[in-house]
């Protein structure tokens, strides 16, 4: 039996020190008026667009009436980590807001993050360890991976009474929340305070352990009655063009991880404190998504000479196109805080070749403008040109989960899309082994990862106990709203 930590119910000590400044700047009355714009719809489409099923009209109304403590209770009823989603989620709920049909939607994310920040500042967020009866009936459970899916599953199972151990190969827990998301987008103190809560509840973290190498899969199955795999989709998409092997071309996650370690005070070497630095370099980022924007903001902070972000798709429209009607999430032109800081965005271009200098380092890339027709990109004759660069960051997404000793030891074979196969209850073909998050779904959003972690926890609890009182947010086959 894996030992567990016992803890009394107590407030979490780590608080947001600047919450009152932020709150006063935004204005309590303004925020309450914003929440009051919610129509409390008979059919709240914001519910349906959020995989967590967040009770948005309910906590909007509670904020409107200044019942902040009740609001955080409703917020936590469906979401373990609203401080993460309130900062990182692209808010499909706002795209489905009924008010947004003919006006600006309710600023749901802003209300969400203000509720949870106030709750931490006031000491309302406390550890919720399970009672002695639940602990006595609990079983040892392993969660492999400590990103949002793994953390959500671990917290749910711990609160149900199980002895949960989270395995993380990095030196600290958090996964991409810690090492993939830049500090300017998610301050790590926000992550640390939630981890403190989880430890106080009894969750055990074992870091620096590579399951499959340091701990063999058969030993894991022998020690734990159930296992949840939540290792993410970490195989990056490459760019197979001439010159791709030149020095100075890196995957975005390599760049961001090293940068986050520098900010956290990790021991690294190289120029500007990081082995991969943008200082005084002409940076080109290939990929126009959120990861590319994270690279953009990080490159600015490292002192890049210039930053250019390339996207193969055309520039999105400013308003919702007719082909993406309400309440679906529209592909429109969006500007993040990183884009507001500078840099150039170039759309409808495709990289043809990387050009190196005499030392073997990239000095430029050759691109061509492309037209999108019938779902295919066609080069536009006479538009080829060179763009100066001596650092290239590939931010083109991920192709699936890593196929290594862990999956081999479990006799799990990835499907054609690089995902761990599972049924609608998150169970893999291996008895007692479940999978949650990007590892089973493929690359997705943080809100889907948390929803899957909560749902996989319910499935594991049912497997161990025969029944469960844990909520199921979504089945594994659920997909976003589409036209």
Average pLDDT over the chain reads 92
What pLDDT sits at residue 265?
82
Q: Does residue 82 surpass a pLDDT of 70? A: yes
Quick check: 327 and 362 in contact, CB under 8 A? no
Q: What percent of the chain has pLDDT over 70?
A: 93
Quick check: 95 and 49 in contact, CB under 8 A? yes
What pLDDT sits at residue 13?
43
3-class SS at 101? helix
Q: What is the pLDDT of residues 3-26, one digit of tens each?
A: 343 333 344 443 334 444 544 445
First to last CA, the chain: 50
Q: Does residue 221 surpass a pLDDT of 90? A: yes
What pLDDT sits at residue 23?
46
Residue in the structure block whose two tokens are 């309440």: 327
Q: What percent of the chain has pLDDT over 90?
A: 88
Radius of gyration over alpha carbons of the chain, in Å? 23
For the segment 294-313, the average pLDDT, to the nearest whole number, is 97
397-419 in b/e form (b: 16+ CB < 10 A) is ebebbbeeebbebbebebeeebb
What pLDDT sits at residue 266?
65
267 pLDDT tier (thresholds 50, 70, 90): low
Mark out the alpha helices in 303-441 (DSSP H runs). 337-340, 405-409, 438-441
Q: What is the pLDDT of residues 333-371, one digit of tens each?
A: 999 999 999 999 999 999 999 999 999 999 999 999 999
105 pLDDT tier (thresholds 50, 70, 90): very high
Nearest in space to 361 (alpha carbons), one of 239, 245, 240: 245
Q: Does residue 443 surpass a pLDDT of 50? A: yes
For the segment 464-480, the average pLDDT, to the nearest whole number, is 96
- 177/374: higher pLDDT: 177
Lowest mean pLDDT among 149-163, 208-222, 267-281, 438-452: 267-281
For the segment 307-327, the average pLDDT, to the nearest whole number, is 95
122-156 in b/e form (b: 16+ CB < 10 A) is eebbebbbbeeebbeebbbbbbbbbbbbbbbbbbb
What is the rounded distance in angstroms from the CA atom of residue 125 to the CA atom of residue 15? 10
Q: Does residue 215 surpass a pLDDT of 80? A: yes
What is the rounded distance in angstroms from the CA atom of residue 464 to the CA atom of residue 450? 21
274 pLDDT tier (thresholds 50, 70, 90): low
Lowest mean pLDDT among 21-35, 309-323, 446-460: 21-35
What pLDDT sits at residue 270?
45
Cα angle 69, 71, 77 (rounded to 5 degrees) comes to 110
Residue 353 to residues 29, 237, 239, 241, Cα–Cα distance (Å): 55, 17, 10, 6
Q: What is the pLDDT of residues 380-432, one digit of tens each?
A: 999 999 999 999 999 999 999 999 999 999 999 999 999 999 999 999 999 99
């Amino acid at each position: 039996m894996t030992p567990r930590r016992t803890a009394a119910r107590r407030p979490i000590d780590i608080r947001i020190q600047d919450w009152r400044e932020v709150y006063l700047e935004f204005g309590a009355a303004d925020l309450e008026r914003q929440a009051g714009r919610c129509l409390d719809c008979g059919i709240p489409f914001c519910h349906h667009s959020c995989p967590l099923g967040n009770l948005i009209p309910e906590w909007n109304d509670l904020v409107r009436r200044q019942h902040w403590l009740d609001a955080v209770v409703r917020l936590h009823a469906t979401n373990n980590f609203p401080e993460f989603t309130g900062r990182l989620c692209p808010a499909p709920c706002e795209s489905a807001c009924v008010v947004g049909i003919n006006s600006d939607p309710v600023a749901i994310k802003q209300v969400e993050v203000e509720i949870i920040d106030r709750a931490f500042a006031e000491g309302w967020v406390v550890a919720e360890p399970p009672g002695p009866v639940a602990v006595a009936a609990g079983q040892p459970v392993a969660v492999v991976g400590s990103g949002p899916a793994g953390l959500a599953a671990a917290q749910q199972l711990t609160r149900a009474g199980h002895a949960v151990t989270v395995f993380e190969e990095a030196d600290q827990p958090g996964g991409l929340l810690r090492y993939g998301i830049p500090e300017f987008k998610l301050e790590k103190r926000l992550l640390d305070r939630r981890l403190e809560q989880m430890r106080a509840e009894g969750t055990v973290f074992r870091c620096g352990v590579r399951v499959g190498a340091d701990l063999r899969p058969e030993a894991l199955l022998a020690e734990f009655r159930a296992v949840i795999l939540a290792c993410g989709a970490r195989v990056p998409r490459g760019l197979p063009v001439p010159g791709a092997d030149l020095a100075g071309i890196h995957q975005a996650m390599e760049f961001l991880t090293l940068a986050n370690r520098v900010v956290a005070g990790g021991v690294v070497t190289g120029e500007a404190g990081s082995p991969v630095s943008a200082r005084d370099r002409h940076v080109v980022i290939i990929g126009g998504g959120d990861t590319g924007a994270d690279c953009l903001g990080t490159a600015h902070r490292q002192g890049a000479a210039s930053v250019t972000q390339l996207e193969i798709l055309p520039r999105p429209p400013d308003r919702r196109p007719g082909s993406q009607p309400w309440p679906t999430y529209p592909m429109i032109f969006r500007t993040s805080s990183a884009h507001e800081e500078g840099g150039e965005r170039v759309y409808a271009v495709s990289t043809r070749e990387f050009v190196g200098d005499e030392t073997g380092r990239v000095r430029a890339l050759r691109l061509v403008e492309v037209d999108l027709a019938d779902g295919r990109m066609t080069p536009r004759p006479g538009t080829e040109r060179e763009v100066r660069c001596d650092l290239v960051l590939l931010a083109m997404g991920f192709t699936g989960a890593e196929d290594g000793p862990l999956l081999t030891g479990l006799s799990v074979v990835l499907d054609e899309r690089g995902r761990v196969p599972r049924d609608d209850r998150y169970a893999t073909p291996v008895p007692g082994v479940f999978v949650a998050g990007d590892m089973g779904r493929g690359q997705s959003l943080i809100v889907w990862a948390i929803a899957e972690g909560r749902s996989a926890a319910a499935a594991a609890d049912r497997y161990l106990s025969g029944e469960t009182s844990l909520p199921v947010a979504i089945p594994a086959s659920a997909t976003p709203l589409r036209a």
